[in-house]
Amino acid sequence: MHTEPAYATDLRDTVTRAAADLRTISEDLAGVRPAPGRWSIKEIIGHLIDSASHNHQRFVRARWQDDLVFQGYQQDDWVAAEDYQSASWDDLVTLWHTYNRHVARVMTTVPADVARREHRRHNLDQIAWQAVPADQPATLEYFMRDYVAHLKHHLRQVAERRASLR
């Protein structure tokens, strides 16, 4: 058993608290788009499900790679293709919460030496939320911390959206 890194604990605690709060949002409110081309709260959570799915695989694969180069994805296209707008709000919250608890567990299983190993070759300048310049080394630990920061950014966005719709 590995000691749980602080960012994994933070992720688990954040999604547990947020899920309880998200469940107080009505189905109707969750589906309101603030403007054409802007995501509803449902779609923001859908985007975070996609992010969990992609990053879960990245975090596992990084153990055996000599680099941190991962395929990107077109987030707007994914949100549209999966039609989160018509999904059940309760189902979205449940999937998001459960999947991120799993991602936190996966983070915990990554050996510290693997998480902290510096990689000169990476594409975190393209796929990380807070980019790492291509000419600077990057670590999987940085990328996992970045994942948590990205999730929290979108939860703040949900809170702002919710407040503006009241």
How does pLDDT run across 78-111, given as a tens digit for each residue?
Answer: 999 999 999 999 999 999 999 999 999 999 999 9
Whole-structure pTM value: 0.96
Q: Which whole-number Å values give the CA distances from 155 to 8, 14, 41, 66, in the listed order?
A: 17, 9, 9, 33
Residue with token string 């936190």: 104
Instruction: Kindly state the helix (H) or strand (E) to which residue 33 belongs, with its residue range.
Output: none
pLDDT higher than threshold 90 for residue 1: no
Amino acid 24: pLDDT:
97
Tell me the pLDDT tens digit for each residue of 20-67.
999 999 999 999 999 899 999 999 999 999 999 999 999 999 999 999
pLDDT higher than threshold 60 for residue 157: yes
Amino acid 118: pLDDT:
97
Tell me the pLDDT of the chain averaged across its residues: 96
CATH for 6-165, among 3.30.70.980, 3.30.930.10, 1.20.120.450, 2.60.40.1180? Answer: 1.20.120.450
Query: Under a CB-based contact definition with an 8 Å cutoff, are residues 155 and 165 in contact?
Result: no
Query: What percentage of the chain has pLDDT greater than the value 90?
Result: 95
- Cα 19 to Cα 92: distance, rounded to the nearest angstrom: 10
Phi, psi of 53 (to 5 degrees): -60, -50
Amino acid 85: pLDDT:
97
| Extents of the domains making up the chain | 6-165
